[in-house]
Amino acid sequence: MTYDAVIIGAGLGGLECAYILAKHGMNVCVLEQGTQMGGCLQSFKRRGIHFDAGFHYVGGLDEGRPLNRLFDYFGLLDLPWQKMDEQCFDEVVIGHEHYRFAQGHEAWQAALAEQFPDQKNNLKKYDEAQANVGAHLFDALGSRTADDFYNNKAFTTPAYQVLAGTIGDERLRNVISGTSLKMELRPESLPFYVFAQINNSFIEGAYRLAGGGETLTNRMCENLRKMGVTLVTKAQVTQLEGEAGKISAALCSNGERYEGRIFISNAHPATTLSLVSEAVGLRKPYKKRIDRMENTYGMFTANIAIKPETLPYQNKNLYLYEEGADIWNISSPECPKGLLVSYGCTTPDQKYASSIDLLCPMQMEELSEWKDTQIGHRGSDYEAFKAAKTEQCLRIAEKQIPGLREATDRIYTSTPLTYRDYTGTRDGSAYGLRKDANNTLLTFLPPKTPVENLLLTGQNLNLHGILGVSMTSFVTCSALIGMEAATDGLKTK
């Protein structure tokens, strides 16, 4: 059987591309190397407690906002979403000082202006700039071509340049940046588009999902099966065979061969190109350029199972920093200088915490001793390394969560190596390929490749995160069927 489209990788981007194309009458097959669909949305359970691998909260889910309209299209709005605290969905703690992020642009400005009254006008000016970037996403998707997406100077302007040029108080600049452990901050290169689009989305509706990423993945797969999409797990693609500039089939480690007219890869671009057989004739300079592109850092995570009814559930995230921390250069091998504390959500009316995740940036260089090992075979030194990192994280977190250590039942840890092995992400990167405002042509990848019928999708192309990946799925599909057709049924206005 020859499929209209074969999609490699069942991360959110791959599943969403399958949905868009199936909606337009295509016969689609999705190949996933692991036992679970979902990619970075994968979850796991230990002794009945649910943990997420990479999913914690989403932004832009309020009525009429970007993610709300995207999820309406994909049939995901009626899941058990829990709106986070409207007065403080994110709390930034620097030293002993606490700063709250409120939902809604006026409320966000007002909350920060309480502690920085002399910056009130600057906050308004800055917030207008990030809101304008947020609005651009649907302006682009409502256009006739994907090229319009890049017609915004925010792509070529470093985020810190905008921040420093608008906000006069250095402390406030750090506070505004303090929730950005959900991206890699680099003052010289992170585009304002990435910084503003992501931060703006959370101001426009921050939500957790009861059951986490698994709930979302299960619904997507249920919808896809109803549309006739073929979903295959344990199907690791080992080669994309073909000739004369076109791919004809995906060969899998299970011995199966899947023929298709179009191939879309949700895997890392460098990994994807390594699968293309020589007979296809992929240009070597292109392959080398993609292979040399830098990846963002990964995350160390301590997943904590909490004893029943010992700690109150907090409907917000905590971002914790030591006094004097350089928030724009936060990754450090010595100790966690920035820590995200996220509570697991099990029910919409949750009173007590069942799990808490502690996350801090981690460079792959810290793990060089074990980079050629596999899960379960890294030895006692690796376990001791993780235990020491966990203790550092706990010492920071318990200052803000009294009784955390006593309430802890068990702790499960992971590093970028874990992420790499389970999701196939290069270097265990948390946010995909590193974007550079000074070199957008080389770091923002288009979905088309030199192979005539091979396209890319996912977080490595444009934006990472749930919102960015969802938007990119339309950009990818528009390369096949046009933007107007791809967004048919999507409320872009």
Average pLDDT over residues 41-61: 80
Q: 470 with 16: CB under 8 angstroms?
A: yes
Q: 153 with 333: CB under 8 angstroms?
A: no
For 7-42, the pLDDT digits (tens) are: 999 999 999 999 999 999 999 999 999 888 888 787
Q: Find the angle CA(288)-CA(291)-CA(293) to the nearest 5 degrees.
A: 110
In 3-state terms the chain splits into helix, strand, coil percentages (rounded to 5) of 40, 20, 40
Question: What is the percent of the chain where pLDDT is above 90?
Answer: 72
For 225-280, the pLDDT digits (tens) are: 999 999 999 999 999 999 999 999 999 998 999 999 999 999 999 999 999 999 99
Q: pTM to 2 decimals?
A: 0.94
Question: CA-CA-CA-CA torsion for 97, 102, 105, 111, nearest 10 degrees?
Answer: -40
Encoded tokens for 172: 């406030």
Residue whose C-alpha is closest to residue 397's, from 304, 299, 334: 304
pLDDT at 440 over 70: yes
Strand order in the sheet with 408-414: 97-101, 90-94, 317-321, 338-343, 355-362, 298-306, 408-414
* Domains of the chain by start residue, with CATH: 2-59+211-294+432-486 (3.50.50.60), 105-204 (no CATH), 297-430 (no CATH)
Encoded tokens for 89: 């969905």
For 126-143, the pLDDT digits (tens) are: 999 999 998 887 776 666
Q: What are phi and psi of 317, to 5 degrees?
A: -105, 150
Q: What are phi and psi of 190, to 5 degrees?
A: -60, 120
Residue whose C-alpha is closest to residue 301's, from 348, 344, 266: 344
Q: 434 with 419: CB under 8 angstroms?
A: no
DSSP annotation of 158 reads B
Q: Is 84 helix (H, G, I), strand (E, B) or coil?
A: coil
Mean pLDDT of the chain: 91
Q: 384 with 331: CB under 8 angstroms?
A: no
The type of residue at 416 is P
Per DSSP, the residues of 401-443 read STTHHHHEEEEEEE-HHHHHHHH--GGG-SS-BPP-TT-HHHH
Q: 249 with 260: CB under 8 angstroms?
A: yes
- The H or E element spanning position 82 is strand 81-83
Distance of CA 333 to the CA centre of its chain: 23
